[in-house]
Structure 1
Amino acid sequence: MREDFQKIPDHRAGNAKISLDDALMSALAMFQLKDPSLLAVDKRRREEPENLHTIWGITDIPCDSQMRDILDPLELFSLRAPFRSAFRQLQRGKDFEKMAFLDGHYLLSGDGTGFYSSEKVSSDYCMGKKNNNGNTLYYQQMYAAAFVHPDHKEVIPVFPEMITRKDGAKKNDSERNAARRFYEQFRREHPLLQVIVVEDGLSSNGPHVRDLQKLDLHFILGAKPGDHQFLFDRMDEAVEFGQATEFQYTDADEPEKIHYFRFINQVPLNQSHQDLLVNFLEYWQVDKHGKTTKFSWITDLPITRENAVDIMRAGRARWKIENETFNTLKNQGYNLGHNYGLGEKNLSAVFAILMMLAFLLDQIQQMSCWLFQEALQKSETKRYLWEGIRAFFYNYRVDSMETILRAIAHGFERRELKECCS
């Protein structure tokens, strides 16, 4: 990470006291330690800086105001390199291959989420909307995506695209525009990766589907009757004339559940895009109590009896961007949505990106590092693991994060506190 940070141009004066890479590593350390605020980092800088030096290699630790001033003008694209480096390392270790699904493709689940909102504090980069109380809510969002797999808890996030007001723009940005930018940049960085994009029902529109096709990205997109009545009517007609395929499936591991499928291939997306042909899958799950849950998707993958179950599982894996990604970032110690600082330009976005980078590194360790896995198993939950890491960090002089994880996983010699007091 530091090597990538050191390559980022620093446009400040040459005699700047705090280097840009030290400021970035300090912010990354904050998110890897799951600190709740910049004030906590500043307190550590003053009282216990040794471990920041040894674990993260930080020479000069910025105070909270210095960190804000240094990071605010940073161009966001300059932070893409650490994500690429981490991803390449995962690929070289062959662990990324575990995420392959549906004939060696990788599922990339994407959606938008907010990371800043306030009725009082805003910048030129905030979007705005009127609340019911008449006040203006200022907010910033991002379009984020992660590689997911139906059978794995881990997700592998990629560099997000900000949904914010651009320089001089009078109109709000939109999730659709951000998604287009995201996938264009993603394809530039990963031109050969075999990917299936999985998204919710808002994404199953003609312009977005054509964008994905131009980028050679396969897709499985949610489709709801309210938005795609044309498709559902075509399905009913196909069933009536025997042109649709229907079957039911019972999983040996869950025999109390019955799964119903029906599908048709090569039908127009809607009346406005008669020339845009997609394949349409409907699916019902009925549990032992008779409760029915229904899903439906469009895809460019030819649907068969043999792959319909896997397409269904891939479509339902979309929720991992919500549950295993956004929910984890907001509720399991990373504090996405907490205001670490808005700044005048890019500060809040820089913090959101560095938080996502810390999450990526944790997910890679969870997938690939036996020591991290043992420490997590011993801690039982990630919250307890983060608490354990912080406790050792605060109370001991430590040479590396490996030492902390070994102490958590395998235990350590406990001494009476009075023996340690001066």
Structure 2
Amino acid sequence: MPDARKQSNARRYEMEDAALSAFAVFFSQSPSFLDSQVRMQKQLGRNNASSLFGVHEIPCDNQIRNLLDPVPPETVYPVLAEIGDALYQQGYLAEFRSINDTLLIALDGTDFFSSEKISCACCSETRLKNDRVLYRHIAVTPVLVAPGQANAIPLPPEFVQPQDGQDKQDCELAASARWLARWGEHYRPWRITYLGDDLYCHQSHCPAGAGATGRLLFTRKLESHATPLRVGRRFRAQRATRPRVQARRVGKKHFTDTYRYAHQVPLRNTDDAVECGQRI
């Protein structure tokens, strides 16, 4: 990891110690983990942070922040990518194959910090109903998922933050497009189907996803897209599609699901509209 400190013989902590100590907290899911390890070291002369994670000297919380805050997040992207690559190359992702024998990557944004008082240059701003401003840190966090799989495989993220040369505030959709541009070719050989909610089912975004893989499975809200809704109603009225009936059981209850599916439905009422398949 890059070290922003000036060269000095008075250094006590290495960047490696700060990074491993921070990782240990997330791994153990205990905010007080490092404090307990310091006490263990004083009482027993050893600690788990050293034996399990290879930490030589345990920095305090403030020291960890001072050392790691200047490090660009992109520094650790290769680590996440290499983990996924290793799982794929060793065949561990075979059980994750699903629709048409593809792997599923779910695209979604998540807030990992918000405040009405604390802000920085990387914040997104949301105007609240009380006219106050909520400052947020958001990231698109793609993960490999599969039906019936309890585990999800994290992939490199993309942060929602101001971009050079852009006056408009950054957003989740733009960040996901950047992710596809950066990583789409990398994951193309894996045969991917990208998953997303209604936000991603957008005329300007679908070509980016299709260019990366050709396979998209996005949720579409009825109220968000008038043209597919109108076309679907016409198909139903004309009985242009055959229903598919599927029985399923949940515990002691039995359910019957009836589907109608149409292809080549325009996403909007324009000549250049993306055509999609939809349940009607």
Q: Normalized against structure 1, the TM-score is what?
A: 0.60
Instruction: Give the match for residue 204 of structure 2.
Output: 207
Greater shift after overlay, 218-227 or 46-55? 46-55
Aligned pairs for 1:16-415 within 5 A:
16-36=11-31, 40-41=32-33, 43-44=35-36, 46-49=38-41, 50-166=47-163, 171-251=168-248, 256-272=254-270, 274-282=272-280
Deviation per residue, 1:251-309 (Å, 9 max, x gap): 36777201011011122221135442222223xxxxxxxxxxxxxxxxxxxxxxxxxxx
Instruction: Check whether the contact 1:41–1:64 (CA below 8 A) recurs between aligned residues.
Output: no
Change beyond 3 A, Cα 1:239–1:248:
same
Q: CA deviation at 1:69?
A: 1.0
Aligned counterparts of 2:238 and 2:56: Cα–Cα separation in 1: 73
- Residue identity opposite 1:28 in structure 2: F
Q: CA deviation at 1:217?
A: 4.0
Change beyond 3 A, Cα 1:150–1:192:
same
Instruction: Give the match for residue 44 of structure 2.
Output: none
Deviation per residue, 1:371-415 (Å, 9 max, x gap): xxxxxxxxxxxxxxxxxxxxxxxxxxxxxxxxxxxxxxxxxxxxx
Higher RCO (CA 8 Å, separation ≥ 6 residues):
1
Instruction: Check whether the contact 2:34–2:49 (CA below 8 A) recurs between aligned residues.
Output: no
SS at match of 2:150: coil
Q: CA deviation at 1:44?
A: 3.4
Q: CA deviation at 1:153?
A: 1.8
SS at match of 2:95: helix
Change beyond 3 A, Cα 1:27–1:188:
farther
Instruction: Check whether the contact 1:125–1:167 (CA below 8 A) recurs between aligned residues.
Output: no
Aligned counterparts of 1:277 and 1:198: Cα–Cα separation in 2: 17
Q: CA deviation at 1:195?
A: 0.7
SS at match of 1:226: helix
Aligned counterparts of 2:263 and 2:166: Cα–Cα separation in 1: 42
Q: CA deviation at 1:193?
A: 1.3
Change beyond 3 A, Cα 1:11–1:168:
farther
Segments of 5+ residues of structure 1 without an aligned counterpart are 1-7, 283-422
Aligned counterparts of 2:225 and 2:236: Cα–Cα separation in 1: 17
Aligned counterparts of 2:127 and 2:225: Cα–Cα separation in 1: 30
SS at match of 2:57: coil
Q: Normalized against structure 2, the TM-score is what?
A: 0.88
Aligned length: 272
- Residue identity opposite 1:259 in structure 2: D
Aligned counterparts of 1:256 and 1:217: Cα–Cα separation in 2: 36
Q: CA deviation at 1:41?
A: 4.9
Change beyond 3 A, Cα 1:167–1:17:
farther
Instruction: Check whether the contact 2:140–2:158 (CA below 8 A) recurs between aligned residues.
Output: yes
Deviation per residue, 1:26-78 (Å, 9 max, x gap): 10001011123xxx355235322421111101122222121111111111111
SS at match of 2:121: coil
Aligned counterparts of 1:185 and 1:19: Cα–Cα separation in 2: 31
Please report the RMSD computed on the Cα atoms of aligned residues, expressed in angstroms: 2.3
- Residue identity opposite 2:5 in structure 1: R
Segments of 5+ residues of structure 2 without an aligned counterpart are 42-46
Deviation per residue, 1:137-185 (Å, 9 max, x gap): 2111111121111122221121221112346866431111111112222
Change beyond 3 A, Cα 1:273–1:204:
farther
Instruction: Check whether the contact 2:185–2:212 (CA below 8 A) recurs between aligned residues.
Output: no
